[in-house]
Amino acid sequence: MIGRAAAVPRVAFDLRGRAAGQFRVAAGKEPCIRYNPVLLVRHPSEFLAQTVPHEVAHYLAYLSFGRGIRPHGQEWRQIMRGLGADPRRCHDFDVTGLTTRRLRRYIYHCRCGDHALSSIRHHRILRGASYVCRNCGHALSRGPSDEGPAGET
């Protein structure tokens, strides 16, 4: 049963790093399935048998159940089985030589200490988001002497 309007997802072969595929749907934007072309070339038959149905199953689960389900939960696993694929969440492709993105860290502080937030969270804060410390519950704010990134991880 498909509960949402079936917008055909955009398909792109622009994913880099160690991820084989990704399904994304942002508010107000068309759904998108992204694939890693390097892993497709390295492992064509396994990629077509596992990664393509994996991401299509995410799309079908979104259409049927919306955002309120676990990404690799029972609904997704059921769809994977219906597509004739093993409902595994991770691939086992050789990723030798593929690198992952390295995020900058920014220093924020609260009552109990300093915290290194990723550039993703830092930019969300610049756009109005707020974060609180899990230990003391105090809002995190930029460190007084922090002029830029704290380094990379």
Q: Is 55 a catalytic residue?
A: yes
In whole angstroms, give the CA distance from residue 52 to residue 142: 42
Selection from 117, 75, 89 nearest residue 20 by Cα: 89
Q: What region, left, alpha or beta, does residue 65 occupy, with left being phi > 0 and alpha being psi -120 to 50 degrees?
A: alpha
| 8 Å CB contact between 49 and 85 | yes
What pairs with residue 23 in β-bridges?
33
In whole angstroms, give the CA distance from residue 29 to residue 22: 15
Residue 50 structure tokens: 């596992």
Options 46, 55, 75, 152, the catalytic residue? 55
Give residues with Cβ within 8 angstroms of 1, minimum separation 6.
64
Q: Tell me which residues are annotated as active site.
A: 55
